[in-house]
Amino acid sequence: MALAKEPTPVSAKNGADQEAEYRAQTRVWLRLLACTTLIEGELRRRFREEFDFTMPRFDVLAQLDREPSGLVLGELPKRLMVSAGNLTPIVDRLVEDGYITRTPSNLDRRVQIVCMTVEGRKAFRRMAKSHGAWLAELLADFPADRFDGLIGELDELKGAVKDALQKP
């Protein structure tokens, strides 16, 4: 098996190694998906039962909570990693329900500013508190001294995936 001088990592691997790596990658993905699905499903269920609210709505409020003077509407799809069209009806309903306001900008009439209302802020804080407690409950059995390590791994994974998406 003559090895190239400047082998790309993948092509340098023999069949068995690459097979093993494929399996490991698939396993990582399936575990990741399983953990997320499990936690997300439970959080969604509790949001619904306790507050008659949804996670996407909560996510919007969470973004606005950090912006006392509001946000340009177009920032939301970027930060939440969802499509713009998706957000329209969600924002519509949050406005209807009095959690946020949507006001057209005077400088550029295409742009709208969304901003949390006082009631919205109050409701958000109440829900955020429960959200934190639910998460603590769900993750209670995971050893606390390994959180930082896991966070580091996930950060690196996220960076690796983002890099891979950048390339083409």
Q: Which residues bind DNA (CB under 7 A)?
A: 41, 44-45, 48, 54, 56-57, 72-74, 81-91, 93, 102, 108-112
Which two three-digit tokens encode residue 143?
A: 């050893």
**CA dihedral sign, ordered 50, 51, 53, 58:** negative
159: contact with a copy of itself by CB under 8 A: yes
Looking at beta carbons only, is 13 or 54 nearer to DNA?
Answer: 54
CB 63 within 8 A of CB 80: yes
CB 65 within 8 A of CB 52: no
Selected binder of a copy of itself within 7, 12, 41, 126 (CB under 8 A): 41
Residue 117: contacted member of a copy of itself, DNA, none (CB under 5 to 8 Å, by partner type): none
Give the Cα separation of 41 and 87 in Å (integer).
21
Site for a copy of itself in 1-40 (CB under 8 A): 9-10, 21-22, 24-29, 31-40
Selected binder of a copy of itself within 1, 81, 107, 118 (CB under 8 A): 81
Region of 17 (left: φ > 0; alpha: ψ -120 to 50; beta: rest) is alpha
Closest CA to 48 of 58, 35, 38: 58
Selected binder of a copy of itself within 12, 84, 111, 157 (CB under 8 A): 157
Residue 121: contacted member of DNA, a copy of itself, none (CB under 5 to 8 Å, by partner type): none
Looking at beta carbons only, is 84 or 157 nearer to a copy of itself?
Answer: 157
Minimum CB separation from a copy of itself for residue 125, in Å? 14
Which two three-digit tokens encode residue 45?
A: 């269920």
